Structure 1
Amino acid sequence: MKLVWSPETASKAYIDTVKSCEVFDESSVAELVSAMAAGWNAQLVVETWSRGGAIAASIGLSVAIHHTGGRHICVVPDEDSRSEYVEAMDKSGQSPPEVVVGPPEEAIKGVEEIDFLVVDCRRNDFARILRVAKLGHRGAVLICKNASSRAASDFRWRSVLDGKSRIVRSVFLPVGNGLDIAHVGAAGGGSGSAAGKGQSRWFKHINRQTGEEFVIRR
């Protein structure tokens, strides 16, 4: 088994996230990650968050889980972050997901079969979190948000994952403050070119603020 793309589910999650994030000035990231998580039928979505962070992406992930019937876990570094996160989610009208408190690099070790992971490049530990994450046997989608502000300009997916996972494809999108995205293949799968042959689809994203259109083949 491997992750299978559903454009219909992605579209539904995208539209619902647009409605849920109308109060946010910059919701394009939320809409995109929601569509991707739902479109790939993610059953375990994990994100990292800390005090002062934007909440829109979390709303988008919650919307996606509503369509997939999976689990949504947010890893926060301390109790202050947990309180602020839960309060912000309550105010947004979305039910808070499961919240795990502790140093993200350590806390995420207790979560297995992750098939959709979102980390923040503004945190110095984002690469270490990616290295220790236990990805699902169906494959996984990994997203680094705020990627344009990343200090480590030599970031490469293959070096971060230490060769433990097969990168099917990766892309950088100038959405929000930048998204670095990688699709990791299913365990025991063939080569990236063979796995994607005849199965890729086009996915369109429009930035509502600028009118820019991005087309991704996945």
Structure 2
Amino acid sequence: MKLVWSPESASKAYIDTVKSCRNFKESGVAEFLSAMAAGWNAKLIVEAWSHGGPIATSVGLSVAARHAGARHVCVVPDERSRSAYVKAMYEFGMSATEMVVGDAEEVMVRLAGVDFLVVDCKRKDLARVLRFARFSHKGAVLACKNACQRAAAGGGTSAGFRWHGVLQRGTRVVRSVFLPVGQGLDIAHVGSNNGRGENPKKSPSRWIKHIDQRSGEVHLFRG
């Protein structure tokens, strides 16, 4: 089995997120990730939120979960972060999603079958969140936002981000790409773990369209 792309779900999630986040500073990243999560028909969407960060992406992932009939879980390190997240979602007019509080290793191993994972590069435990994630047997899509800020802080350039250095040994990266959306998105597609996953040389390419809400520019990215 493998992840199957649904253009209709992606389009609906994108439009609904645009409506919800039209006045938000993080607009663009939220719509893009929402469309990806819904388009891949993810059933377990996990978000590793950074305390004090914008909430637009969380809103977008909640929208995607609704369209895909998915479970949306937010992972935070402590009660302070949990309270801040719940408050931010409430102020945005959204009910808080399911939350898991605790150390990255402890909480990620409890979430088996992750289809779509979003991690804020501002989190100090970024590598541990990725390393201990338990992906779906169909494969998964991973997105690290604020990638440029990680590079500026000494985490290396986006082009030098090595997925094999942070993922669990044996995880097969089908393809990866850096996208100049927001403060930078590092995205990877990891293959199924049943030995019958896609052959990256034979896998058909898919184009993802992103429209910058501020400039009106249209960007096409090969997925």
Please classify the TM superposition score into its range, dividing by the shorter chain length: over 0.9
69-78 or 48-57: which moved more? 48-57
Structure 1 residue 50, shift from structure 2 partner: 3.2
> Which residue, 183, 192, 214 being the options, matches 1:209?
214
> What is the identity, as a one-letter code, of the residue corresponding to 1:217?
R
1:200 and 2:205 are equivalent in the alignment: yes
Gap regions ≥5 residues in structure 1: none
Q: Which residue of 1 aligns with 2:170?
A: 164
Residue pair 2:117, 2:142 contacting (<8 A) in 1 also: yes
Q: Which residue of 2 aligns with 1:5?
A: 5
State the alpha-carbon separation in 1 of the partners of residues 9 and 38 from structure 2: 6
Give the TM-score taking structure 2 as reference length: 0.92
Residue pair 1:48, 1:104 contacting (<8 A) in 2 also: no
State the alpha-carbon separation in 1 of the partners of residues 170 and 68 from structure 2: 27
- The 5 A counterparts of 1:89-108 are 89-108=89-108
For this pair of structures, how many residues does the alignment match? 215
State the alpha-carbon separation in 1 of the partners of residues 89 and 9 from structure 2: 23
CA 1:214/1:163 → structure 2, altered by over 3 Å: closer, same or farther?
A: farther
Structure 1 residue 216, shift from structure 2 partner: 1.6
Q: Which residue of 1 aligns with 2:181?
A: 175
Residue pair 2:26, 2:57 contacting (<8 A) in 1 also: no
Gap regions ≥5 residues in structure 2: none
Give the TM-score taking structure 1 as reference length: 0.94
- Any idea what the Cα deviations from partners look like across 1:35-90, whole Å, max 9, x if unmatched? 00000001000011132111000000000001000100001111111111111112
Q: What RMSD in Å do the two structures reach over aligned CA positions?
A: 1.4
State the alpha-carbon separation in 1 of the partners of residues 161 and 104 from structure 2: 20
Identity of matched residues, %: 62
Structure 1 residue 200, shift from structure 2 partner: 2.7
> What is the identity, as a one-letter code, of the residue corresponding to 1:203?
I
Q: Which residue of 2 aligns with 1:137?
A: 137
- The 5 A counterparts of 1:11-50 are 11-50=11-50
State the alpha-carbon separation in 2 of the partners of residues 212 and 164 from structure 1: 39
Residue pair 1:105, 1:125 contacting (<8 A) in 2 also: no
CA 1:87/1:162 → structure 2, altered by over 3 Å: closer, same or farther?
A: closer
Structure 1 residue 162, shift from structure 2 partner: 4.5
- The 5 A counterparts of 1:67-78 are 67-78=67-78
> What is the identity, as a one-letter code, of the residue corresponding to 2:128?
R
Residue pair 1:185, 1:192 contacting (<8 A) in 2 also: no
- Any idea what the Cα deviations from partners look like across 1:116-144, whole Å, max 9, x if unmatched? 00111122210121111000001000000
